[in-house]
Structures are given as structure tokens and as C-alpha cells.
Amino acid sequence: MTAAPLSQTALLLELEAVVEKNLDRHLSMAKEWFPHEYVPWSEGRTFDGPLGGEAWSPDDSSIPEVARTALIVNLLTEDNLPSYHHEIATLFGRDGAWGTWVHRWTAEEGRHGTAIRDYLTVTRAVDPVALERARMTHMSEGYVNVHNDEVLHSLAYVSFQELATRISHRNTGKATGDPACEALLARVAADENLHMVFYRNLLAAAFELAPSQAMRAVADVLADFQMPGVGIDGFARKSVAIALAGIYDLRQHRDEVVVPVLRQWDVFNVTGLNADGETAREAIAAHLDTLETAASRFEDKRAARAARLSATR
């Protein structure tokens, strides 16, 4: 039996009860927290400009360069929230449980940007002028989800992206060598994990409702997956540095993001697929192999580079 594909409207309607259930789950698990409690305000000093303080200098902070780069990428990603909000509010709608979720999610993500910016400014970890200019450039570009008119594609994308963001925040925190920053980013990462669970549960329900459409969505999203910060100025160079430092690399992408999420959906045991669903599942399997090759190659290159660097020291 092959059912006709569900329309976008039908999918939203059918999933509404699942949104409601998971919204309740989210609200019962999410812990209230306050950005100001994670910022060491007494370390702050007035900057130059109208108030006549001291200009920023790279020596103001001992945080390693690559951790600064990762913090900037993570913050700019959070900063672009209005664009993401626009994308999901347009797609999921502002009514009922979907609307409640969209607004709640936006409010939580807004907390992340506030907390990280306050921390970076007070501790003088990064150049505040360059940061503000980068924010203006990045937000002026906006963000467009490549699959922005398809509900299941968007759910699949955010399931992976929230987990990727969680890992990136966590590892960035560790790379700073600053316990206060690590605590802040661990707190942010805990939120990202709950976001991932919410979206992952929704797509799990979609796999029961429309298995072939869900499989197609996952295959398409994996094929062209990019982090939401891809539009950041110098993103390619920055992401190489971030990967070399082991903050977010292909190995983590495959083994800690893609594989665990696919396992939760049990994609290789889903039944009731039509021909396109089967084709999509084969594409997912092939993609995992491609990622494996690319991740191993990257690890080899990184190891060779490390050996070269230590030989020249």
C-alpha cells in the first residue's frame, strides 16, 4: 500500500498533537537560568570612546586564539536569530502549539546571544569593534534555510543542527581554558540539547506518519548540510581552524551528530517505504560512507600537520 504524500498543511496539522506533547515535555525539563549570573562583571573595564576608557588589546585576555574564533562564530550564529525566527515562524505558523514553540525557542536562543556577548565584552576576550562590525555584516546577509518551504526538511535540519551547536558550544568552552566560560557554554549547550530532542522527537513522529517523506527529508538535508553560521565572513577559514582544534570537525559531525540522530530514528529498520523512500535510505547509507572517508582523511591530515609542527619546534 502506498499512501499519497501528505501536503505541508496536512503534516503541520497531523504533527500538532506531537508538538503539544513535546512542548510540555520541554517546559518541564528546561531550567530557568540567568545570563547575568554567568558573567564575571567585576573583571570589566570601561572602553575607549565616549566614556574615555581603555581601548581593547589582544593581551586583555589569555583565551587561546582558536577559542576566540569559535566564540565569535558561535555568537554570530546566535545573533542571526531574527532570521531563523522568521524562517520557522513562516513555515510552522504562529498559532497553537507550533506558535508557542516558535516563540519559546526564539526566547531561549536570544538568551544565548545575550549571555555570550556580555561575557566576551566584560572579559575583553575579543575585539568589540570587530565583533560589532561582524555582527552587522552577518545579520545584513540574513539566513535562508535551503529547504525553507518543507516542514520535514526543516525538522530534519534542526535536529542535526541543534546537536552540532551543542557540541560546538561544549568544546569551545573547554578550549577557552576559562572555567567561567566553560560553565556558561555548558549551560547554553544543555539548552541546545533540549532543542535537539524536541525536533528529533517531531521527526520521529513524522517517520511513523509519512516514512518515505521523512526519509527523503533526512537524505536531502544530510546531502547539503551546512552549519547555520556558513554566511559569516571568513567562515571557511574559521571552520578549518575550529576543526583542527577538535572543536567541531568531520569526525564529530559524523560520529556524534549524524549517527546518533539516525540511530534514534532507527532509519535502517523503518518499514513501509515506497521506492523513493528506499532510494533516500540508500543515499543516507552512502553518505555515511562518504563522511567516514572524509573524516578519516581529515584526521590523517591533522595528525601529519601536528607532527610537522612539533618537528619544527
Q: Which residues bind Fe ion (CB under 5 A)?
A: 109, 112, 162, 192, 195
The distance in angstroms from the start CA to the end CA of the chain is 66
CB of 164 to Fe ion, least distance (A): 10
Of 81 and 134, the one with the shorter C-beta distance to Fe ion is 81
Of 14 and 182, the one with the shorter C-beta distance to Fe ion is 182
Among left, alpha and beta (phi > 0; psi -120 to 50; other), residue 54 is beta
Of 100 and 279, the one with the shorter C-beta distance to Fe ion is 100
Report the alpha-carbon distance of residue 161 to residue 168 in Å, rounded.
10
Q: 211-223 and 151-176 helices cross at what angle (nearest 10)? A: 50
CB of 284 to Fe ion, least distance (A): 24
* Dihedral (CA of 203, 208, 213, 218) sign: positive
Identify the CA nearest to 69 among candidates 310, 185, 243.
Answer: 243
Identify the CA nearest to 174 among candidates 252, 59, 79.
Answer: 252
Of 193 and 239, the one with the shorter C-beta distance to Fe ion is 193
Report the alpha-carbon distance of residue 65 to residue 83 in Å, rounded.
28
CB of 223 to Fe ion, least distance (A): 23
CB of 111 to Fe ion, least distance (A): 8
Of 192 and 249, the one with the shorter C-beta distance to Fe ion is 192
CB of 179 to Fe ion, least distance (A): 21
Of 11 and 185, the one with the shorter C-beta distance to Fe ion is 185
Helix (H), strand (E) at residue 141: helix 128-141
Report the alpha-carbon distance of residue 250 to residue 259 in Å, rounded.
12
CB of 310 to Fe ion, least distance (A): 36
Dihedral, CA atoms, 257, 258, 260, 266, nearest 10 degrees?
A: 160
Q: What are phi and psi of 54, to 5 degrees?
A: -95, 135
CB of 105 to Fe ion, least distance (A): 7
* Dihedral (CA of 198, 199, 204, 206) sign: positive
Of 87 and 192, the one with the shorter C-beta distance to Fe ion is 192
Strands (E), 161-312: none
